[in-house]
């Protein structure tokens, strides 16, 4: 079986080897075992049920709550020649009926179904009339109340499966399950002696870091400036923050989209598409954004605030680098942001039990923000995976700041907490250590403890902070519930006994990982392939990455295959894709195009008029007149200056000057895309005051966010043309 699985991996997907965990999971499933697989986002779960599905007789049912993901997966499967379909609310009645009929005829290897579609009668019909070797449950944590994304339709489904006679194999997949949630999934789905796999939570291509005490706005500006071509997501906790950050980015001229629950469906869909197609570079969003987003080239995920639990954090952060390339995850952490999350929990639905679970998850998240351990290790531990070494590249691993021996202060704090016998919270413990005369302290007789006033020279706030630090490092623990009490863990004992020292980083303010290495200069061949991919994808109406990932193109460019065999050796190219695109690719990589003089020369067109670019060839009838027309055409087609500059390998300034030249030549331009609405009156006013023959005095007189391009634009638009 495994041999066959490996062959399928190569033939269908074009991958040479399994990722960590995949092989074991496939072996368990094909060996007939119920399976629970906990693999992180991007870990490659789909392959784990798709390959067994191809090997088994009949139709595997895949339950998945993510409509957009179903479509992507089914498209991808069909593309590589595997018959698959989905049933969800996005289908019209007729389509739905057709798919159902074909399914009952056994025409699919995989049938994706949304859980709410699988009611009792549907389930009965399918299981009676189809041969179903396996039910694969994606996002299985949705079945658990203790998970962070409970869905009643999942709970019901578990009931149907449990009641089936002759029940098929059940495999469950999730990216986020603590050991408790994993147990709950097993119980709820009635998995029978399942093989359980937890692995691969460490994402080697992610550099995690936590930034505390930074001016967030300034940090963001600098961060984006250092990564001018990278695509990324900024997660904020609320709609209001999302709007504010989005506005700020637009003000800075960064092509950004926004996404939150307060926007209409159409608006959200459009924002998502634009992001997927790289039309916007940055997406600012609440956690509403992400269910189902599968954009592989997200280079960074920046959390404007901390989310409510480590599961959400890692799921969101994990949307970076799905293509395996170096990516960054930055959490802007301010301890007071905990209040927002606490508020969201308290306002949220759910009974007290659930809220108390959420609060303790929130404390774990807070610990992540404060820990000085390897951040990657912290997360991997949290999900129950053992034995992973420090990553060596997170903010904490890279932090070389001085350490202070804090053993004595730790002993004072720990012994005080020990004497309070787990009956009080952090605030009270801090008051005792401070030696406070607070009414409650006296009332409870806490001023008589031998540890009373042991840290009296510290501000009380710092003492609380110190206690929270001890929580984050695992010496203290907070109870669940709304008013958590603090108590010692087993880790505290060696410290109290004097056999373990406690060291703390001297400065805990701004720490962050070094920026991820830029992924290298693009070669001309890579650019040519990218251009081909873009055109072909546009023709097929799919996002470029559906054809090939950047990594595949890069490998193609490096290997420059000259034959089909060589082509098949490239990671990410299977037989189906080789059949479909092989000739076109070989024509590019073997240099035929170049020899025939058709090789696009975009990357050298540094200046107007030089190096005719392929885009210009399509400007029929305009002759040799120049590169500025190509820029114009791309701008008219909706490209932003930034995209055009990148696409054409020219600088922004050059692209801008192209458009101005077009305006001079009388071509129509959509000025509203060049001149921010609120700036136009300002610029006009300044021009009437200072004249329009020199730009510099205008620029100096205007607010800094008004750029030369807009000034230029206004002068051209109103015929005040300078210089």
Going from the C-alpha of 580 to that of each of 114, 122, 275, 323, 457, the distances in angstroms are: 31, 37, 27, 22, 74
With beta carbons less than 8 A apart as the criterion, state whether 68 and 205 touch: no
Task: Give the one entry of Zn ion, ligand ADP, none that residue 47 binds, where binding means its C-beta sits below a cut-off of 5 to 8 angstroms depending on kind.
Answer: ligand ADP
Residues 511-540 within binding reach of ligand ADP (CB under 6 A)? none
DSSP assignments along 1-63, one per residue: -HHHHHHHIIIII--SSPPTTHHHHHHHHHTT--EEEE--TTS-HHHHHHHHHHHSSS-EEEE
Does 79 help bind ligand ADP (rule: CB under 6 A)?
Answer: no
Given candidates 12, 25, 29, 43, which one binds ligand ADP under the rule CB under 6 A? 43
Does 45 help bind ligand ADP (rule: CB under 6 A)?
Answer: yes
With beta carbons less than 8 A apart as the criterion, state whether 391 and 376 touch: yes
Show the 3-state SS of 392-448: CCCHHHHCCCCEEECHHHHHHHHHHHHHCCCCCCHHHHHHHHHCCCCHHHHHCCHHH
Given candidates 10, 19, 33, 403, which one binds ligand ADP under the rule CB under 6 A? 19
**Among 44-52, 214-222, 342-350, 705-713, the segment contacting ligand ADP (CB under 6 A):** 44-52
Given candidates 8, 28, 36, 47, which one binds ligand ADP under the rule CB under 6 A? 47
**Backbone φ, ψ for residue 332 (5° rounding):** -85, 110
Q: Which CB atom, from 43 or from 639, has the smaller least distance to ligand ADP? A: 43
Task: Give the one entry of Zn ion, ligand ADP, none that residue 50 binds, where binding means its C-beta sits below a cut-off of 5 to 8 angstroms depending on kind.
Answer: none
How far apart are alpha carbons 110 and 48 in whole angstroms? 13
Shortest Å, Cβ 316 to ligand ADP = 13
Task: Give the one entry of ligand ADP, Zn ion, none that residue 397 binds, where binding means its C-beta sits below a cut-off of 5 to 8 angstroms depending on kind.
Answer: Zn ion
Does 21 help bind ligand ADP (rule: CB under 6 A)?
Answer: no
**Residues sharing a CB contact under 8 Å with residue 235, sequence separation 6 or more, in sequence order:** 285, 286, 287, 289, 301, 302, 303, 304, 305, 307, 316
Does 108 help bind ligand ADP (rule: CB under 6 A)?
Answer: no
**8-state DSSP, 173:** E
Shortest Å, Cβ 426 to Zn ion = 27
Task: Give the one entry of Zn ion, ligand ADP, none that residue 44 binds, where binding means its C-beta sits below a cut-off of 5 to 8 angstroms depending on kind.
Answer: ligand ADP
Please calculate the CA angle 623-625-628 and round it to the nearest 5 degrees: 120
Q: Which CB atom, from 87 or from 394, has the smaller least distance to Zn ion? A: 394
**Backbone φ, ψ for residue 440 (5° rounding):** -65, -35
Q: Which CB atom, from 296 or from 418, has the smaller least distance to ligand ADP? A: 296
Task: Give the one entry of Zn ion, ligand ADP, none that residue 18 binds, where binding means its C-beta sits below a cut-off of 5 to 8 angstroms depending on kind.
Answer: ligand ADP
Q: Which CB atom, from 201 or from 452, has the smaller least distance to Zn ion? A: 201
Does 35 help bind ligand ADP (rule: CB under 6 A)?
Answer: no
Task: Give the one entry of ligand ADP, Zn ion, none that residue 83 binds, where binding means its C-beta sits below a cut-off of 5 to 8 angstroms depending on kind.
Answer: none
**Cβ-based neighbour number of residue 695 at 10 Å:** 15
Q: Which CB atom, from 207 or from 657, has the smaller least distance to Zn ion? A: 207
Given candidates 18, 123, 154, 275, which one binds ligand ADP under the rule CB under 6 A? 18
Task: Give the one entry of ligand ADP, Zn ion, none that residue 488 binds, where binding means its C-beta sits below a cut-off of 5 to 8 angstroms depending on kind.
Answer: none
**Among 35-43, 371-379, 462-470, 675-683, the segment contacting ligand ADP (CB under 6 A):** 35-43
Task: Give the one entry of ligand ADP, Zn ion, none that residue 394 binds, where binding means its C-beta sits below a cut-off of 5 to 8 angstroms depending on kind.
Answer: Zn ion
Shortest Å, Cβ 55 to ligand ADP = 16
Task: Give the one entry of Zn ion, ligand ADP, none that residue 56 binds, where binding means its C-beta sits below a cut-off of 5 to 8 angstroms depending on kind.
Answer: none
Binding mask 404-433 for ligand ADP (x = CB under 6 A): ------------------------------
What residues does 244 pair with on adjacent strands? none
Residues in the site for Zn ion, rule: CB under 5 A? 374, 376, 390-391, 394, 397
Binding footprint of ligand ADP, residue count (CB under 6 A) = 14
Q: Which CB atom, from 295 or from 628, has the smaller least distance to ligand ADP? A: 295
Given candidates 21, 44, 133, 147, which one binds ligand ADP under the rule CB under 6 A? 44
Beta pairing class for 60-63 and 134-137: parallel
Shortest Å, Cβ 502 to Zn ion = 20
Shortest Å, Cβ 394 to Zn ion = 3
**Residues sharing a CB contact under 8 Å with residue 135, sequence separation 6 or more, in sequence order:** 60, 61, 62, 63, 161, 168, 169, 170, 171
Q: Which among 250, 305, 245, 296 has a CA at the least distance from the CA of 275?
A: 296
With beta carbons less than 8 A apart as the criterion, state whether 634 and 614 touch: no
Residues 306-345 within binding reach of ligand ADP (CB under 6 A)? 322
Q: Dmax over Cα atoms in the chain, in whole Å?
A: 94
Shortest Å, Cβ 395 to Zn ion = 8
**Backbone φ, ψ for residue 171 (5° rounding):** -120, 135
Q: Where are the alpha helices (DSSP H) in 473-606?
A: 492-496, 524-540, 550-559, 564-568, 575-589, 592-595
Shortest Å, Cβ 47 to ligand ADP = 4
Does 15 help bind ligand ADP (rule: CB under 6 A)?
Answer: yes
Q: Which among 262, 222, 214, 270 has a CA at the least distance from the CA of 242?
A: 262
With beta carbons less than 8 A apart as the criterion, state whether 16 and 571 touch: yes
**Residues sharing a CB contact under 8 Å with residue 488, sequence separation 6 or more, in sequence order:** 414, 417, 418, 422, 475, 476, 477
Binding residues vs ligand ADP (CB under 6 A)? 13, 15, 18-19, 22, 39, 41-47, 322
């Amino acid at each position: 079986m495994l041999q066959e699985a490996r062959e399928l991996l190569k033939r269908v997907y074009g991958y040479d080897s399994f990722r960590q965990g995949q092989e074991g999971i496939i072996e368990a499933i094909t060996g007939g075992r119920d399976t629970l697989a906990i693999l992180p986002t991007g870990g490659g779960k789909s392959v784990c049920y798709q390959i067994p599905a191809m090997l088994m007789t009949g139709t595997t049912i895949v339950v998945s709550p993510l409509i957009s993901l179903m479509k992507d997966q089914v498209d991808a499967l069909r593309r590589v020649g595997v018959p698959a379909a989905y049933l969800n609310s996005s289908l019209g009645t007729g389509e739905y009926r057709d798919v159902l009929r074909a399914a009952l005829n056994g025409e699919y290897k995989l049938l994706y179904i949304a859980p709410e579609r699988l009611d009792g009668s549907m389930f009965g019909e399918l299981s009676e009339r189809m041969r179903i070797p396996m039910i694969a449950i994606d996002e299985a944590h949705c079945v658990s109340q203790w998970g962070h994304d409970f869905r009643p339709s999942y709970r019901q489904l578990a009931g149907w499966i449990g009641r089936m006679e002759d029940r098929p194999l059940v495999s469950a997949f999730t990216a986020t399950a603590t050991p408790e949630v994993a147990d709950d999934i097993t119980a709820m789905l009635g998995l029978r002696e399942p093989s359980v796999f937890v692995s691969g939570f460490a994402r080697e291509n992610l550099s995690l870091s936590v930034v505390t005490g930074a001016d967030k706005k300034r940090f963001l500006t600098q961060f984006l400036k250092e990564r001018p071509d990278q695509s990324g997501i900024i997660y904020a906790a609320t709609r209001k923050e999302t709007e504010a950050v989005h506005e700020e980015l637009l003000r800075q001229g960064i092509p950004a989209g926004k996404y939150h629950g307060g926007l209409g469906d159409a608006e959200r869909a459009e924002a998502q598409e634009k992001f997927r197609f790289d039309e916007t570079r940055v997406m600012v969003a609440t956690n509403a954004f992400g269910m189902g987003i599968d954009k592989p080239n997200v280079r960074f995920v920046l959390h404007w605030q901390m989310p409510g639990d480590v599961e959400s954090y890692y799921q969101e952060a994990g949307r970076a680098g799905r293509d395996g390339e170096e990516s960054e995850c930055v959490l802007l952490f301010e301890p007071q942001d905990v209040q927002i999350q606490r508020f969201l929990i308290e306002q949220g639905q759910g009974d007290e039990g659930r809220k108390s679970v959420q609060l303790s998850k929130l404390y774990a998240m807070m610990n992540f923000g404060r820990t000085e351990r390897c951040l990657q290790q912290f997360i991997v531990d949290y999900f129950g995976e053992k034995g992973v070494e420090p990553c060596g590249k997170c903010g904490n691993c890279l932090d070389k700041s001085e350490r202070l021996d804090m053993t004595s202060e730790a002993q004072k704090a720990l012994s005080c907490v020990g004497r309070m016998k787990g009956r009080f919270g952090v605030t009270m413990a801090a008051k005792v250590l401070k030696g406070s005369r607070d009414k409650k302290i006296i009332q409870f007789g806490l001023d008589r403890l031998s540890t009373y006033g042991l840290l009296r020279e510290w501000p009380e706030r710092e003492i609380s902070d110190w206690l929270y630090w001890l929580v984050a490092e695992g010496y203290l623990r907070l109870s669940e519930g709304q008013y958590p009490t603090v108590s010692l863990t087993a880790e505290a004992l060696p410290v109290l006994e004097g056999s373990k020292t406690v060291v703390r980083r001297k400065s805990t303010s701004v720490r962050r990982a070094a920026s991820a290495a830029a992924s290298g200069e693009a070669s001309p061949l890579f650019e040519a392939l990218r251009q081909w991919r873009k055109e072909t994808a546009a023709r097929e109406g799919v996002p470029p990455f559906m054809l090939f990932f950047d990594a595949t193109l890069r490998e193609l460019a490096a290997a420059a295959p000259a034959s089909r065999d060589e082509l098949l050796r490239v990671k990410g190219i299977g037989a189906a894709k080789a059949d479909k695109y092989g000739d076109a690719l070989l024509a590019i990589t073997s240099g035929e195009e170049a020899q025939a003089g058709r090789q696009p020369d975009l990357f050298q067109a540094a200046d107007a008029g030089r190096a005719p670019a392929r885009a210009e060839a399509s400007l029929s009838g305009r002759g040799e007149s120049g590169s500025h027309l190509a820029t114009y055409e791309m701008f008219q087609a909706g490209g932003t200056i930034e995209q055009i500059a990148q696409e054409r390998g020219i600088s922004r300034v050059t692209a801008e000057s192209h458009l101005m030249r077009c305006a001079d030549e009388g071509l129509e331009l959509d000025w509203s895309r060049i001149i921010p609405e609120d700036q136009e009156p300002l610029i006009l006013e300044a021009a009437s005051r200072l004249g329009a023959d020199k730009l510099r005095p205008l620029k100096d007189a205007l607010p800094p966010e008004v750029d030369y391009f807009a000034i230029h634009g206004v002068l051209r638009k109103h015929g005040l043309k300078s210089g």
